[in-house]
Amino acid sequence: MEESSGRATASRLTARGAKTRSRIIATAADLMRVRGVGATTLDDVVVAGNVSKSQLYRHFEDKQALVRAVIEFTGDRAIAVERERLNRVMTLTGLRRWRDALVENNALQQGRYGCPLGSLASEVVDQDPIARQKLNELFSAWRELFESLLQRFQKVGVIPQEADVSRLSIGLLAAVQGGYLLAQASRDVTPMASAIDMAIAHLHHLGSKRDTAS
Protein backbone atom coordinates (compact mmCIF):
# COMPACT_ATOMS: atom_id res chain seq x y z
CA MET A 1 0.00 0.00 0.00
CA GLU A 2 1.21 3.51 -0.80
CA GLU A 3 2.74 5.28 2.19
CA SER A 4 0.70 8.22 3.41
CA SER A 5 3.51 10.20 4.96
CA GLY A 6 6.61 9.33 3.00
CA ARG A 7 8.38 7.78 5.98
CA ALA A 8 10.70 5.83 3.70
CA THR A 9 11.62 9.02 1.85
CA ALA A 10 12.07 10.92 5.11
CA SER A 11 14.51 8.29 6.36
CA ARG A 12 16.81 9.09 3.41
CA LEU A 13 16.91 12.84 4.03
CA THR A 14 19.88 14.72 5.36
CA ALA A 15 19.58 15.99 8.91
CA ARG A 16 18.87 19.47 7.58
CA GLY A 17 16.29 18.17 5.11
CA ALA A 18 14.57 16.11 7.79
CA LYS A 19 14.40 19.15 10.06
CA THR A 20 12.84 21.24 7.30
CA ARG A 21 10.33 18.52 6.49
CA SER A 22 9.36 18.18 10.15
CA ARG A 23 8.91 21.94 10.45
CA ILE A 24 6.64 22.00 7.41
CA ILE A 25 4.48 19.20 8.80
CA ALA A 26 4.27 20.73 12.28
CA THR A 27 3.39 24.13 10.84
CA ALA A 28 0.72 22.66 8.59
CA ALA A 29 -0.71 20.66 11.50
CA ASP A 30 -1.04 23.79 13.63
CA LEU A 31 -2.69 25.75 10.83
CA MET A 32 -5.09 22.95 9.93
CA ARG A 33 -5.96 22.51 13.59
CA VAL A 34 -7.09 26.14 13.83
CA ARG A 35 -8.33 26.90 10.31
CA GLY A 36 -9.26 23.48 9.03
CA VAL A 37 -7.78 21.56 6.13
CA GLY A 38 -9.86 23.27 3.45
CA ALA A 39 -8.99 26.79 4.59
CA THR A 40 -5.26 26.13 4.87
CA THR A 41 -3.31 26.71 1.67
CA LEU A 42 0.22 25.71 0.78
CA ASP A 43 1.06 29.41 0.63
CA ASP A 44 -0.10 29.71 4.24
CA VAL A 45 2.28 26.91 5.21
CA VAL A 46 5.16 28.53 3.33
CA VAL A 47 4.72 31.82 5.15
CA ALA A 48 4.04 30.41 8.63
CA GLY A 49 6.80 27.81 8.36
CA ASN A 50 9.36 30.29 7.00
CA VAL A 51 10.23 28.00 4.12
CA SER A 52 10.33 28.55 0.37
CA LYS A 53 7.90 27.02 -2.09
CA SER A 54 10.74 25.03 -3.58
CA GLN A 55 11.52 23.55 -0.15
CA LEU A 56 7.90 22.60 0.39
CA TYR A 57 7.55 20.98 -3.03
CA ARG A 58 10.83 19.15 -2.55
CA HIS A 59 9.17 17.25 0.30
CA PHE A 60 5.50 17.20 -0.77
CA GLU A 61 4.28 17.02 -4.34
CA ASP A 62 0.90 18.51 -3.49
CA LYS A 63 -1.44 19.43 -0.66
CA GLN A 64 -2.85 15.92 -0.48
CA ALA A 65 0.60 14.52 0.30
CA LEU A 66 1.08 17.13 3.01
CA VAL A 67 -2.32 16.40 4.54
CA ARG A 68 -1.45 12.71 4.74
CA ALA A 69 1.77 13.56 6.55
CA VAL A 70 -0.16 15.84 8.93
CA ILE A 71 -2.57 13.01 9.71
CA GLU A 72 0.28 10.68 10.58
CA PHE A 73 2.07 13.34 12.63
CA THR A 74 -1.08 14.36 14.50
CA GLY A 75 -2.22 10.81 15.08
CA ASP A 76 1.12 9.48 16.27
CA ARG A 77 1.42 12.40 18.69
CA ALA A 78 -2.12 11.94 20.02
CA ILE A 79 -1.67 8.19 20.49
CA ALA A 80 1.67 8.67 22.26
CA VAL A 81 0.11 11.15 24.70
CA GLU A 82 -2.87 8.92 25.42
CA ARG A 83 -0.68 5.85 25.82
CA GLU A 84 1.38 7.60 28.48
CA ARG A 85 -1.71 8.83 30.31
CA LEU A 86 -3.74 5.63 30.14
CA ASN A 87 -0.86 3.34 31.07
CA ARG A 88 -0.90 4.95 34.51
CA VAL A 89 -4.60 4.26 35.08
CA MET A 90 -5.36 1.22 37.24
CA THR A 91 -8.64 2.15 38.93
CA LEU A 92 -11.91 3.93 38.19
CA THR A 93 -10.64 6.79 40.33
CA GLY A 94 -7.62 7.00 38.06
CA LEU A 95 -9.89 6.93 35.02
CA ARG A 96 -11.89 9.83 36.42
CA ARG A 97 -8.65 11.78 36.88
CA TRP A 98 -7.80 11.03 33.26
CA ARG A 99 -11.24 12.30 32.29
CA ASP A 100 -10.75 15.49 34.32
CA ALA A 101 -7.43 16.22 32.63
CA LEU A 102 -8.87 15.59 29.15
CA VAL A 103 -11.87 17.85 29.73
CA GLU A 104 -9.88 20.58 31.46
CA ASN A 105 -7.35 20.68 28.63
CA ASN A 106 -10.14 21.08 26.09
CA ALA A 107 -11.77 23.73 28.28
CA LEU A 108 -8.73 25.96 27.81
CA GLN A 109 -10.00 26.58 24.27
CA GLN A 110 -13.72 26.27 25.10
CA GLY A 111 -13.74 23.11 23.01
CA ARG A 112 -13.17 25.27 19.93
CA TYR A 113 -11.05 22.96 17.79
CA GLY A 114 -12.31 19.54 18.80
CA CYS A 115 -10.12 16.45 18.70
CA PRO A 116 -7.08 16.97 16.45
CA LEU A 117 -7.58 13.57 14.86
CA GLY A 118 -11.37 13.71 14.74
CA SER A 119 -11.35 17.13 13.09
CA LEU A 120 -9.03 15.87 10.36
CA ALA A 121 -11.23 12.82 9.84
CA SER A 122 -14.35 14.93 9.32
CA GLU A 123 -12.65 16.83 6.50
CA VAL A 124 -10.75 14.20 4.54
CA VAL A 125 -12.32 10.74 4.88
CA ASP A 126 -14.55 11.19 1.81
CA GLN A 127 -11.84 12.79 -0.35
CA ASP A 128 -8.80 10.56 0.10
CA PRO A 129 -9.02 6.77 0.60
CA ILE A 130 -5.38 6.54 1.69
CA ALA A 131 -5.93 9.20 4.35
CA ARG A 132 -9.14 7.46 5.41
CA GLN A 133 -7.27 4.17 5.87
CA LYS A 134 -4.58 5.85 7.94
CA LEU A 135 -7.19 7.53 10.11
CA ASN A 136 -8.93 4.21 10.62
CA GLU A 137 -5.63 2.66 11.72
CA LEU A 138 -5.00 5.50 14.16
CA PHE A 139 -8.47 5.28 15.69
CA SER A 140 -8.00 1.53 15.97
CA ALA A 141 -4.74 2.10 17.84
CA TRP A 142 -6.55 4.50 20.18
CA ARG A 143 -9.31 1.95 20.76
CA GLU A 144 -6.68 -0.68 21.56
CA LEU A 145 -5.33 1.59 24.30
CA PHE A 146 -8.77 1.58 25.90
CA GLU A 147 -9.04 -2.16 25.44
CA SER A 148 -5.70 -2.68 27.21
CA LEU A 149 -6.92 -0.45 30.04
CA LEU A 150 -10.10 -2.50 30.40
CA GLN A 151 -8.14 -5.74 30.38
CA ARG A 152 -6.12 -4.37 33.30
CA PHE A 153 -9.41 -3.54 35.01
CA GLN A 154 -10.45 -7.15 34.58
CA LYS A 155 -7.21 -8.43 36.08
CA VAL A 156 -7.58 -6.34 39.22
CA GLY A 157 -11.32 -6.98 39.54
CA VAL A 158 -12.66 -3.54 38.62
CA ILE A 159 -14.94 -5.04 35.98
CA PRO A 160 -16.03 -8.68 35.57
CA GLN A 161 -14.04 -11.16 33.51
CA GLU A 162 -16.97 -11.78 31.19
CA ALA A 163 -17.21 -8.11 30.19
CA ASP A 164 -16.74 -7.58 26.45
CA VAL A 165 -13.74 -5.26 26.54
CA SER A 166 -13.69 -4.89 22.75
CA ARG A 167 -17.18 -3.40 22.68
CA LEU A 168 -16.57 -1.37 25.83
CA SER A 169 -13.43 0.13 24.30
CA ILE A 170 -15.42 1.23 21.25
CA GLY A 171 -17.93 2.85 23.58
CA LEU A 172 -15.21 4.75 25.41
CA LEU A 173 -13.66 5.99 22.20
CA ALA A 174 -17.08 7.01 20.86
CA ALA A 175 -17.80 8.91 24.09
CA VAL A 176 -14.52 10.81 23.79
CA GLN A 177 -14.92 11.61 20.10
CA GLY A 178 -18.60 12.48 20.40
CA GLY A 179 -17.82 14.62 23.41
CA TYR A 180 -15.15 16.52 21.50
CA LEU A 181 -17.58 17.17 18.65
CA LEU A 182 -20.37 18.41 20.91
CA ALA A 183 -17.96 20.64 22.80
CA GLN A 184 -16.70 22.06 19.53
CA ALA A 185 -20.22 22.83 18.31
CA SER A 186 -21.36 24.42 21.58
CA ARG A 187 -18.05 26.01 22.61
CA ASP A 188 -18.69 24.35 25.96
CA VAL A 189 -17.00 21.24 27.39
CA THR A 190 -20.01 20.27 29.51
CA PRO A 191 -21.38 17.83 26.89
CA MET A 192 -17.94 16.24 26.60
CA ALA A 193 -17.74 15.75 30.36
CA SER A 194 -21.24 14.25 30.40
CA ALA A 195 -20.49 11.81 27.58
CA ILE A 196 -17.35 10.46 29.23
CA ASP A 197 -19.05 10.37 32.62
CA MET A 198 -21.76 8.13 31.18
CA ALA A 199 -19.14 5.71 29.87
CA ILE A 200 -17.34 5.62 33.23
CA ALA A 201 -20.65 5.20 35.07
CA HIS A 202 -21.35 2.13 32.94
CA LEU A 203 -18.03 0.60 33.97
CA HIS A 204 -18.85 1.35 37.60
CA HIS A 205 -22.23 -0.33 37.11
CA LEU A 206 -20.57 -3.44 35.70
CA GLY A 207 -18.33 -3.62 38.77
CA SER A 208 -21.29 -3.14 41.08
CA LYS A 209 -23.20 -5.95 39.38
CA ARG A 210 -20.21 -8.25 39.91
CA ASP A 211 -20.07 -7.37 43.60
CA THR A 212 -23.81 -7.97 44.00
CA ALA A 213 -23.62 -11.31 42.22
CA SER A 214 -20.80 -12.49 44.47
Q: From first to last of the 214 residues of the chain, give the pLDDT tens digit.
A: 344 445 545 556 788 889 999 999 999 999 999 999 999 999 999 999 999 999 999 999 999 999 999 999 999 999 999 999 999 999 999 999 999 999 999 999 999 999 999 999 999 999 999 999 999 999 999 999 999 999 999 999 999 999 999 999 999 999 999 999 999 999 999 999 999 999 999 999 998 865 555 5
Q: Which element (helix H / strand E) includes 195?
A: helix 190-213
Q: Is residue 56 a part of any domain in this protein?
A: no
Q: Is residue 61 a part of any domain in this protein?
A: no
Cα separation values, 16 from 10, 23, 165, 177, Å: 11, 11, 45, 37
Which of 20, 10, 71 minimizes the C-alpha distance to 50?
20
**CATH value at residue 175:** 1.10.357.10
pLDDT given at position 17: 87
Q: Is residue 57 a part of any domain in this protein?
A: no
Question: pTM above the 0.85 mark?
Answer: yes
Q: Is residue 77 a part of any domain in this protein?
A: yes
- Count of domains in the chain? 1
Contact at 8 Å (CB) between 175 and 126?
A: no
Count of Cβ atoms closer than 10 Å to residue 200 Cβ: 16
Looking at residue 151, the DSSP 8-state letter turns out to be H
Contact at 8 Å (CB) between 184 and 113?
A: yes
pLDDT given at position 208: 85
Q: Is residue 109 a part of any domain in this protein?
A: yes
Q: Is residue 115 a part of any domain in this protein?
A: yes
Looking at residue 161, the DSSP 8-state letter turns out to be T
Q: Is residue 59 a part of any domain in this protein?
A: no
Q: Is residue 178 a part of any domain in this protein?
A: yes
Which of 146, 144, 145, 163 minimizes the C-alpha distance to 154?
163
Q: Which structural domain, as residue segments, surrounds residue 97?
A: 67-213
